[in-house]
Chain A
Amino acid sequence: MITATRKSLDEIKNMIRPYTRVLVAGCGSCVAECAAGGEKEVAQLVSALSMAFKIEGGGPSLTEVTVDRQCVNIFLDELEDPTRSHDAVLSLACGAGVQALAERHADRNIFPALDTQFLGQTKSPGLWLENCLGCGQCKLFYFGAICPLGRCAKQLFNGPCGGSQNGKCETDSEKPCAWQLIIDRLDGLGALNRLEEIYEPCDWSLKQGRGPRKIEREDQQS
């Protein structure tokens, strides 16, 4: 899933302060799972903003709404009328959702309330970890299902670097060294010899070769 965290109240206030009627739009998918932009977080944010603007002596009126997915065009139909009846939208979607909504409304300001973070997993309640970079060429087979691009601070295909000590990364003594995890796991699987291979450089053209990527499938277009 895509993870995100909420921007500070001050940053959000500064974006929406000049407007009279602001729609605060949540997204019920990834950002709800990571407790940043779902229906509950929309309610919390509206209440915090209302309080803050009240103390300041006035601010925009705020309307709450949450749709299932702001990154899927058909779900955005639900936001069509509410968006038109407000001056601006504060979107609690990830960056993909904010842009998908903005694309439909050339005459409305659509603002992000979240900082989109990474593709990751919910490890335990309140803990999300990055583990995939979306490189377009999954190599998890070679590395025991632990991605050195997503999880090694230096994205090494032939690690570990000299900074791996006691199983931890040189950048953070709390953070596991991805390469230690890879070695331990392949060792357990009896496949450590996979690491004797010198892996070729990543082909970044598959991730960023000609700018934004697209997937186009005719079989899905009817």
Chain B
Amino acid sequence: MKKESNLQKILKEGHFAVTAEAGPPRGCDPEIMYKKAGILKGYVDAVNVTDNQTAIVRMSSLAACSLVQQSGVEPILQMVVRDRNRIALQSDVLGAAALGITNMMCLSGDHQCFGNQPGAMGVFDLDSIQLIAAVKKMRDESKILGGDELTSAPQMFIGAAANPFADPLPFRVTRLAKKVKAGAGFIQTQCIYNLARFKEFMKMVTDQGLDRKVYILAGITPLKSAGMAKYMARKVAGMDIPEEIIRRMEGVPKADQPKEGISICLETIAALKKISGVSGIHIMAIEWEEAVPEIVSAAGLMNRGAGSV
């Protein structure tokens, strides 16, 4: 029960952390999660397991986290407030801790209108900041919302998201500060393609000293094709992909586009390492987990001094 998060330990020791993402399948085959975890094992410090991302029904995040853990990889449980009320959310936090899960991400979740259940009721009983505060209360005070005592407190390294590319920019930093105040210990950002804007965001973050209160992992998504870049730019909420990136992807033959996507990714990582306040990176290789070992190796992040998972 009192297991410590490896990710938290790595960040505390001042190492540059690397996390990745593994999306659960649209089915119940555990082998898919074992396979994804196997690809990432030894390359990253922890792996986010997404929670019905883009509002599409998938294997539950909690169950998939357990499978990832069985594979010897430390999971980060993503929890969105879209589908579950405060009873279910708090109950799942306890369940996760009981299974030995030590990290979680508190998120709003993509609106249900985007997925394959547009008729679903959007719960949004708590918002992401209220969920952070609730988990912190459970962990630090051994109490649930309303004040009832728990028989044992869940140990959770609490994460939250920040989108430096959503508007309005100055308020994004205020909202990050609210997440830190609520109890977030680490932040993973939206995928970064617009470095200028990210630098502007981080300047505001460091000016306010927020980087000293929370570990910020910069989000990266390797583009597999020009089509994917265009799709993400147009269809994915809160995404900012500058035209020059799309043109660069279009400028190479289709067969070479994955390679170009990885090159962009590596250049971004090199730039991110130099930005003050960045404690690590979070690689979201969407249905392309195989790209992660290559990126981590080529970015020179293999021997970071941290104990691998």
Residues of A within 8 A of B (CB): 153-167, 170-171, 177, 180, 183, 195-196, 198-202, 204
CA distance A171 to B111 in the complex (A): 7
Max count, chain B CB within 10 A of own CB: residue among A156, A196, A199: A156
Residues in B with CB closer than 8 Å to A170 are 110-111, 237-238
Give 1 or 0 for each of B105-140: 1 = CB within 8 Å of chain A CB. Answer: 000101101100000001011111110010000000
> Quick one: which of B246-265 are within 8 Å of A by CB?
none
How far does the alpha carbon of A176 sit from the alpha carbon of B272 in the complex, in Å? 33
Contact yes or no, B145 A201, CB < 8 A: yes
The answer to whether B113 touches A198, judged by C-beta atoms less than 8 angstroms apart, is no
Q: Are B113 and A171 in contact (CB under 8 A)?
A: yes
Known: A161-B108, A165-B238, A198-B182. A180 touches B168 (CB 8 A): yes
Interface centre among A159, A170, A177, A195 (most CB of B within 10 A): A170
Find A200's partner among B130, B161, B167, B237 (CB 8 Å cutoff): B130
Q: Determine how close the nearest CB of chain A comes to the CB of B172; give it in whole angstroms.
A: 9
Q: Which residues of A contact B167 (CB under 8 A)?
A: 160, 164-167, 177, 180
Known: A163-B238, A164-B166, A183-B168. A158 touches B175 (CB 8 A): yes
Task: Check B224 for interface membership: any CB of A closer than 8 A.
Answer: no
Known contacts: A170-B111, A180-B168. The answer to whether A198 contacts B129 by CB under 8 A is yes
CA distance A86 to B126 in the complex (A): 49
**A158 surroundings in chain B (CB, below 8 A):** 127-130, 175, 178
Q: What's the minimum C-beta distance from B47 to chain A, rounded to whole angstroms? A: 21
- The reply to whether A154 and B168 form a contact with Cβ atoms under 8 Å apart is no
Chain A contacts of B145 at CB under 8 A?
A: 201
B199 contacts which chain A residues (CB < 8 A)?
none
Residue in chain B with minimal CB distance to A149: B124
B86 within 8 A of A: yes
Chain B residues in 8 Å Cβ range of A154: 82, 108, 111, 122, 124, 127
A201 to B182, CA, bound (A): 13
Q: Which residues of B contact A195 (CB under 8 A)?
A: 171, 174
Residues of A within 8 A of B133 (CB): 198
CB distance from A207 to the nearest CB of B (A): 11
Report whether B163 and A162 are in contact in the complex, using a CB–CB cutoff of 8 Å.
Answer: yes
With A153-B111, A162-B166, A201-B145 known, 13 other A-B pairs at CB within 8 A are A154-B111, A155-B124, A158-B128, A158-B129, A160-B171, A160-B175, A163-B110, A163-B237, A165-B166, A170-B110, A171-B114, A198-B181, A201-B86
In the complex, what residue of chain B is closest to A161 when comparing beta carbons? B108
Q: Please, which residues of chain B bring their CB within 8 A of the CB of A164?
A: 166-167, 238
B49 beta carbon closer than 8 Å to chain A: no
In angstroms, Cα B238 to Cα A156, docked, is 16
- Known contacts A160-B171, A163-B166, A170-B238; A204 and B181 CB within 8 A of each other: no
Measured between alpha carbons, how far is A111 from B155 in the docked complex, in Å? Answer: 55
Interface assignment of B94: CB less than 8 Å from any CB of chain A: no
A213, B237: Cα distance in complex, Å:
37
Cα-based distance from A156 to B82 in the complex (angstroms): 11
Closest-CB distance, B173 to chain A (whole angstroms): 11
In the complex, A164 Cα to B175 Cα: how many Å? Answer: 13
Q: Chain B CB within 10 Å — which of A164, A183, A195 has the most? A: A164
Cβ–Cβ contact B124 & A156, under 8 A = yes
- Does B177 lie within 8 Å of A196, measured CB to CB? yes
Identify A196's interface contact among B108, B125, B161, B174, CB under 8 A: B174
- List residues of chain A with CB within 8 A of the CB of B237: 162-163, 165, 170
For residue A154, which residue of chain B has the nearest CB? B124
Instruction: Provide the bound-state CA to CA distance between A159 and B133, in Å.
Output: 15
How far is it, in angstroms, between the C-alpha of A194 and the C-alpha of B174 when the chains are bound? 11
Residues of the B chain whose Cβ atoms lie less than 8 Å from the Cβ of A166: 167
- Can you list 16 A-B pairs with a CB-CB distance of less than 8 A? A157-B127, A161-B108, A161-B166, A162-B163, A162-B166, A163-B237, A164-B166, A164-B167, A165-B237, A167-B167, A170-B237, A195-B171, A195-B174, A200-B130, A201-B125, A201-B127
A198–B178 CB distance below 8 A: yes
Which of chain A's residues has its CB closest to B133's CB? A198
